[in-house]
Amino acid sequence: MCDVCQEEGRDPRFHNGKRPMQFCRLYRVYKSQVANINLCHLHAIELFCIGETRFLESHPRLALRLHRSTRTSSSDVFAF
Ligand SMILES: [Zn+2]
């Protein structure tokens, strides 16, 4: 399932039909690492057109989830 659609509670089949998911990489999220995400056809086109920075600005839930995934288990304990 598309990571953006999943975070925003959308059904990707509704606006993509049977088009396959696309595996995308974000290079500016993590320092010296690559973030791997799955996107539906429309969100992959949006990422290509507006670029990585503006894509994350327009989808803050995805950016927040990527940020949370950088935490270690010990920092999660201290966050609560
Ligand atoms: Zn999507």
pLDDT at 70: 67
Q: State the distance from the centre of ligand 1 to the C-alpha of 62, rounded, in angstroms.
A: 11
70 phi, psi to nearest 5 deg: -85, -15
Q: Are 38 and 2 in contact (CB under 8 A)?
A: yes
Q: State the distance from the centre of ligand 1 to the C-alpha of 74, rounded, in angstroms.
A: 32
Q: State the distance from the centre of ligand 1 to the C-alpha of 78, rounded, in angstroms.
A: 33
Q: State the distance from the centre of ligand 1 to the C-alpha of 79, rounded, in angstroms.
A: 29
**Residue type present at position 63:** A
* Coarse DSSP helix, strand, coil percentages of the chain, rounded to the nearest 5 percent: 55, 10, 30
* Cα 33 from Cα 38, distance rounded (Å): 17
Q: What is the pLDDT of residues 11-67, one digit of tens each?
A: 888 888 888 899 999 998 888 888 899 999 999 999 999 999 999 999 999 999 988
CA 19 to chain centre: 18
Q: State the distance from the centre of ligand 1 to the C-alpha of 76, rounded, in angstroms.
A: 28
Q: What is the pLDDT of residues 17-31, one digit of tens each?
A: 888 899 999 998 888
The structural domains of the chain, with segments of one domain joined by +, span: 3-61
Q: State the distance from the centre of ligand 1 to the C-alpha of 2, rounded, in angstroms.
A: 5
**Pairing relationship of beta strands 35-39 and 22-26 according to DSSP bridges:** antiparallel
